[in-house]
Amino acid sequence: AQSVTQPDIHITVSEGASLELRCNYSYGATPYLFWYVQSPGQGLQLLLKYFSGDTLVQGIKGFEAEFKRSQSSFNLRKPSVHWSDAAEYFCAVGVETGRRALTFGSGTRLQVQP
Amino acid sequence: DVKVTQSSRYLVKRTGEKVFLECVQDMDHENMFWYRQDPGLGLRLIYFSYDVKMKEKGDIPEGYSVSREKKERFSLILESASTNQTSMYLCASSLRDRRSYGYTFGSGTRLTVV
């Protein structure tokens, strides 16, 4: 069965600094990979997704993520963080056959300092 | 704008009560999902449905049941609420095609069982 690990529970960065959130997955074949963001009191919003092809994926709000098969990783990056990026971020994995639902990581809470 | 609507943002119920959480989507999506969100645990799948009257158990179905009588509506039922079911409940929907994944989430229902 597939699984997702987000090693960082909580990250604090200064506004304007770069950001990288880590995500590692476990699955025997190429998975479908997603990043979602949850602002306080809200549901989750899709930031970006990877199915195949170019391993660098661009998303909304200036985010990007890179799929690295050799490291089983799909890290989320942003070159310059804004205060409005403070939220919780979830990585998720889906598969081509078998389980129809996504499996989510435990989340990383991002705090942005002025 | 497409929407997934959860009937209540906040609910307080007593131990032993039968609780209904309702979710409606207006996107003609085939798949609908119920997740539970707890701090440090991320999102855990309770049940999902891939068609009317069809359902599959997720990772934590104990104590829950679901109903999908119409395509747009997916209900989560707590047969006899217990305090350990106090949580945030998130409903989501998606198209059947896995390559169209990108769930649309509702805003969540925060349930407190006292």
Q: Does B15 touch chain A (CB under 8 A)?
A: no
Mean pLDDT, chain A, integer: 92
- Given phi > 0 = left and psi -120 to 50 = alpha, else beta, which region is B105? beta
Higher pLDDT pick, A2 / A15: A15
Whether residue B101 has pLDDT greater than 90:
no
A vs B, Cβ pairs < 8 A, gives 59
Whether residue B98 has pLDDT greater than 90:
no
**Nearest CB to A106: which of B31, B42, B108?**
B42
Residue A43 to residue B56, Cβ atoms within 8 A: no
Measured between beta carbons, the chain A residues lying within 8 angstroms of B44 are 104
Pair of tokens at residue B102: 């990108």
Pair of tokens at residue A72: 């089983």
Dihedral angle sign, alpha carbons of residues A58, B91, A19, A83: positive
State pLDDT tens for residues A19-66. 999 999 998 777 899 999 999 878 899 999 998 888 999 999 999 999
Shortest alpha-carbon distance between residue A54 and chain B (Å)? 15
Confidence band for B30, pLDDT divided at 50, 70 and 90: very high
State pLDDT tens for residues A95-105. 877 777 899 99
State pLDDT tens for residues B51-80. 998 999 999 999 999 999 999 999 999 999
Confidence band for A5, pLDDT divided at 50, 70 and 90: very high
Confidence band for B1, pLDDT divided at 50, 70 and 90: low
**Nearest CB to B42: which of A42, A49, A107?**
A107
Measured distance CA(A87)–CA(B33) in Å, rounded: 23
pLDDT of residue A30: 77
CB-CB contact of B98 with A32 (8 Å): yes
- DSSP letters along chain B, please? ---EEES-SEEEE-TT--EEEEEEESS--SEEEEEEEETTTEEEEEEEEEETTEEEE-S--TTEEEEEEETTEEEEEESS--GGG-EEEEEEEE-SSGGG---EE---EEEEE-
Give Cα separations from A109 to A35, A49, A112, B31, B99 (angstroms).
13, 20, 10, 28, 28
Measured distance CA(B108)–CA(B78) in Å, rounded: 16
Measured distance CA(A90)–CA(A110) in Å, rounded: 11
Residue A44 to residue B103, Cβ atoms within 8 A: yes
Backbone angles phi, psi at B40, to 5 degrees: 80, -10
Q: Which residue has the tokens 């998975």?
A: A31
Higher pLDDT pick, B106 / B100: B106
Give Cα separations from A35 to A8, A99, B82, B99 (angstroms).
15, 19, 32, 15
Helix (H) or strand (E) holding A94: strand A87-94
Q: Which residue has the tokens 């999908």?
A: B68
